[in-house]
Amino acid sequence: MTKVYNARLATRITSSVDTRLRQLALVSRRRISHVLDDVLDAALPTAEDLTDRFTRLARTSQDLPARHPPARAAQAGSARPAPAATAPPAATRAGRGR
């Protein structure tokens, strides 16, 4: 099988996963990119399974416009615009800790 790479996938992984991946590459005497390719290929759904999932998703999304939740239907009937969302103050944003 010929592998063609046209884009680089960059990701952050934990140090323990990185260590095990490198150890697996050393033990199997293969490049880390080939080991990673095999691991991801085994973990990901098949192309056929993904096609089925996308087909079901497309069918489901076609049905959504016909159904309106009660809140949206009530809002659509009112003449007043919806209130604008406001961001919380900087001191209360998640992850700030200041």
From first to last of its 98 residues, what are the pLDDT tens digits of the chain?
A: 666 666 666 778 888 998 999 999 999 999 998 999 999 999 999 999 999 999 999 988 877 655 555 665 555 555 555 555 555 555 444 554 54
pTM over cut 0.85? no
In this structure, is residue 67 part of a structural domain? no
pLDDT at 93 (0 to 100): 46
- What are the start-end ranges of the E strands in the chain? none
In this structure, is residue 18 part of a structural domain? yes
What radius of gyration, in Å, describes the C-alpha atoms of the chain?
A: 24
**How many domains does the structure of the chain reveal?**
1
Domain around 33: 10-54
In this structure, is residue 71 part of a structural domain? no
In this structure, is residue 80 part of a structural domain? no
What is the dihedral sign for C-alpha 48, 50, 51, 55?
positive
Query: How far apart are the C-alpha atoms of 31 and 51, rounded to whole Å?
Result: 30
Enter the tokens of residue 97.
């800790």
CB 91 within 8 A of CB 98: yes
